[in-house]
A and B are shown apart, each in its own frame.
Chain A
Amino acid sequence: MTITIENLYKRFGKNHVLKGVNLSVEPGRIYAILGPNGSGKTTMIKSILGMVIPDQGEISVLDRPIKHGWKYRKQIDYLPQIANFPPNIKVQELIDMIKDLRNSTSAEEELIDLFGLEPFLDKKLSTLSGGTKQKVNIVLTFMFDSPLIILDEPTTGLDPWALIRLKELIQKEKANGKTILITSHIMQFVEEIANEIVYLLEGEIYFKGGIGKLLDQTNEINFEHAIAALTTKKP
């Protein structure tokens, strides 16, 4: 198992965000984590990364419990939801800095080329547009060779051209045997790339399985409608 989550609870003040999540993620597959806004997707991802400390429950990454650990993050490439970068440094400096901090081999030239970021390398991050920042974000995520990739809303702000590049990139990484976790609100994107759907609703996993199973269960032919049906048909 790449990731195992057992009985995960987390609340922020009075707001119970995760209420007993159990999940196991198998290697070499693409998982789409879906759910309405505020259903706990980002909290779950941040718990896996150790950025949010769970109130209760166990998380293991690559069969090792992550509690108080930090070395396991070397096995994870993470793309944060909103690209919050230090504003006063240049793109190239940021890339070099992350490389230096991670101390692992990286293949950033190829990615910079792929997303056409050369003209922006010596620009400060605060001057970049949202979409360009997201491209930088993607480069920073994919430039390392880690067995687990977690993408939180990777499509935000991307133009169709970059979106195609991103999809190719994800498929390529999958072919390399990597496990990928993705959250997204673009159902078309999810339908195209995901092997498995994990549907979070009000802090619990409401559905887990392939797209075929989802369509059967909801009696819908269209994936987008099936997802919508999941939300409304809750007893």
Chain B
Amino acid sequence: MIKILKYSFYDLIRSRWSYVYFLFYLALGFVLLFLNNDVSKAVITLMNVIIVLIPLIGTIFGVMYYYNSREFTELLLAQPIKRSSIFMGQYFGVAGSLTLSLVLGLGIPFLLYGLLRSNAIFDFSLLLVTGAFLTFIFVGLSFVIAISNENKIKGFGYAVLLWLFLAVVYDGLFLMSLIIFEEYPLDTFSLVSTMLNPIDLSRILILLKLDISALLGYTGAIFKKFFGTDLGFLTSMAILLLWTALPIGILRYKAKRKDF
């Protein structure tokens, strides 16, 4: 698996898109710091951008890479390599290189600005950690979609729909159900539905760590009570891990049974 990972990783690192992605974060980091003149504020703005963008890029990159490397995959399948190693290697190669772009792209401007001397270092690392989680989750989901669909166009379509659903539609449904069932106790419901969407979970997790939960209105109090504690924090991290493991598990299962 390590060899496949190495080849996929180098292949991506050398590709134009990795640079574009890296430079985009680099520019974003510098611009935000320049405009806000404050690390903490920049982290908040950054969160809003990357919480939507990371899943989108992860999804598109994942699907694109899977379909583009089909020839490579076929070549590998006839070699003495375990099937799961091929797909795991490619998956970690893509997710790893995207995460590297993210961490370097955002890390460099913030470090230069004096992140280490500010007290936002924990918030910033949390942002990067959740960003990494989101990358791994969405690359995984997109790989699962791609391996289940031979047709490229269909695969792309489903992948974008999935992103749209989790990033936009889900929130809409969530808010609507909150308004409709206003008169009922919604604490558990809102907690659980947040957990079920990795994007929402990451967002809430960062928001609460940033101590701006007042913005969340009355449900914020419940979230604060839950996510604000160490237990809540660990639970959310565990759920993000579960979210990462889920597509990996499905991918391994599918890869074992697929015909090429």
Question: Is B79 engaged at the interface, CB distance under 8 Å to the other chain?
Answer: yes
- A18-50 with Cβ < 8 A to chain B: 46, 49-50
Cβ of B83 within 8 Å of any chain A Cβ, yes or no, is yes
Name the CB-closest residue of B to A10.
Answer: B259
Point out residues on B near A: beta carbons under 8 Å.
3-4, 7, 11, 69-72, 74-83, 257-260
Q: When the two chains form their complex, are residues B79 and A51 in contact, meaning their CB atoms are under 8 A apart? A: no
CB-nearest residue of chain A to B77 = A51
Beyond A51-B259, A51-B260, A53-B259, whether A101 also contacts B81 by CB under 8 A is yes
- Interface pairs (23), CB distance under 8 Å: A46-B260, A50-B77, A51-B74, A51-B260, A53-B257, A70-B80, A71-B80, A73-B78, A73-B79, A80-B74, A80-B78, A84-B70, A84-B71, A85-B72, A85-B75, A86-B71, A88-B11, A97-B7, A98-B79, A101-B3, A101-B4, A102-B79, A102-B80
Q: Report the bound CA distance from A178 to B70 in whole Å.
A: 30
- Given the complex of chains A and B, what is the CA–CA distance between A84 and B260 in angstroms? 13
Interchain nearest-CB distance for B114 vs A (Å)? 40
Chain A contact surface mostly? mixed
Distance to closest chain B CB from A157 (angstroms):
17
Decide: A86 near B78, CB < 8 A? Known: A51-B260, A52-B260, A70-B83.
no
The 3 A-B pairs with the shortest beta carbon distances in the complex, nearest first, are: A84-B71, A74-B80, A73-B80
In the complex, the chain B residue whose C-beta lies closest to that of A140 is B75
Q: How far is the CA of A102 from the CA of B81 in the complex (A)?
A: 8
- Which residues on B sit within 8 Å (CB–CB) of A52? 259-260
CB neighbours of B78 from chain A (8 A): 49, 51, 73, 76, 78, 80
* A80 vs B70: C-alpha distance when bound (angstroms): 14
Q: Which residues on B sit within 8 Å (CB–CB) of A46?
A: 259-260
Complex CA–CA separation, A72 to B77 (angstroms): 12
> Given A70-B81, A74-B80 in contact, is the A100-B71 Cβ separation under 8 Å?
no
Complexed CA–CA distance, A84 and B79 (Å)? 14
Residue pairs across A and B with CB atoms within 8 Å: the count is 57
Q: Which of B11, B71, B77, B257 contacts A49 (CB 8 A)?
A: B77
B257 — which chain A residues lie within 8 A by C-beta? 53
Please tell me which one of the listed residues B7, B79, B80, B259 contacts residue A12 in the complex, with CB atoms under 8 A apart: B259
A71 to B4, CA, bound (A): 16
A101 and B79 contact, Cβ closer than 8 Å, known pairs A84-B71, A84-B74, A86-B69? yes
User: Which residue of B69, B71, B80, B257 has the most chain A CB atoms within 10 A of its CB atom?
Assistant: B80
Give A50 to B80 CA distance when docked, in angstroms.
10
Tell me the smallest distance from the CB of B85 to a CB of chain A, in Å.
9
Shortest CB distance B232–A (Å): 42
B residues in contact with A78, CB < 8 Å:
78
* Complex contacts, B79 vs chain A, CB 8 Å: 73, 98, 101-102
| Residue among B3, B4, B72, B79 with most chain A CB within 10 A | B79
Find out whether the CB atom of B76 lies under 8 angstroms from the CB atom of A101: yes
Taking CB atoms, residues of chain B closer than 8 Å to A100 are 3
Distance A101 CA – B76 CA, assembled complex (angstroms): 9
Q: Contact at B259–A87, with CB atoms within 8 Å?
A: no
Q: Give Cα distance in the complex from A148 to B69, angstroms.
A: 27
